[in-house]
Amino acid sequence: MTLDPRPYLRLASASPRRRELLASIGVSVEVSPVDLDETPLPGEAPRDHVLRLARDKALAGHAAGGPVTLGADTVVVVEGRVLGKPRDAGHARSMLQDLAGRSHEVMTGVAVQGPAGLLTRCVVSRVTLRDIPAAEMADYWRTGEPHDKAGGYAIQGLGSVFVTHLEGSYSAVVGLPLCETAEILRRQGVPLWNLPVS
């Protein structure tokens, strides 16, 4: 059988990690990022924040065309505070100081707009990091990896050396909860494993 290379899904995200995760389950995508203000609203809970952004991305991407569009957002949360991407080395160090030697939450919201309407899920995982000496934080910043990562580290990359424990979904921490996403995509008629729609 010849696999069907046509994209069945519009991905409203520029994240190479989300594209790679979808490819890992055989979902063909057309990348069509949307530009949104990702600033949390006053008093907005982290779970509400990631779900709002995921919905807004899916709806904005869907408006540009395509039968099914996926939007997602991931945040790192410590003591109820959302940690975004580091602005500079000092900001990255401050975030890692907040996370080192303790557990934090990683919340990923996913929304898919398609024939079944707008379907959403939010997955919460807990990650524990070891103590991280200041010199190691500085060395890590110089690798370039944390520059565009929520919370200032990447569990799937060099930052994995900091992680002592994970409760929940590894793929959600990377950027997309594959089990939950696959369930939503099936409901929207998107084939997995790069198989044609039957």
Instruction: Quick: pLDDT tens for 1-55.
Output: 344 455 579 999 888 999 999 999 999 899 998 989 888 899 999 999 999 999 9
- Rounded CA separation 95/92 (Å): 5
Looking at every residue in the chain, the average pLDDT score rounds to 92
Active site residue 73: yes
Burial class (CB in 10 A: 0-12, 13-18, 19+), 133: exposed
User: For position 2, what pLDDT does the model report?
Assistant: 43
Of 73, 5, 7, nearest in space to 34 by CA = 73
The answer to whether residue 197 scores a pLDDT higher than 60 is: no
Say which residues have a Cβ less than 8 Å from residue 135's Cβ, sequence separation at least 6.
none
Average pLDDT for 130-140: 97
What structural domains and CATH numbers belong to the chain?
Answer: 9-187 (3.90.950.10)
Question: How do strand 103-114 and strand 69-78 relate by DSSP bridges?
Answer: antiparallel
- From the list 73, 98, 139, 148, the catalytic residue is 73
Percent of the chain's residues with pLDDT above 90: 77
Average pLDDT for 48-67: 91
- Rounded CA separation 52/74 (Å): 11
Residue 7 structure tokens: 């994209």
Lowest-confidence segment of 43-47, 82-86, 102-106 by average pLDDT:
82-86
Task: Give exposure, 35-44, as e/b (b: 16+ Cβ within 10 Å).
Answer: eeebebeeee
Torsions phi, psi for 157 (to 5 deg): -125, -140
Say what the pTM is.
Answer: 0.90
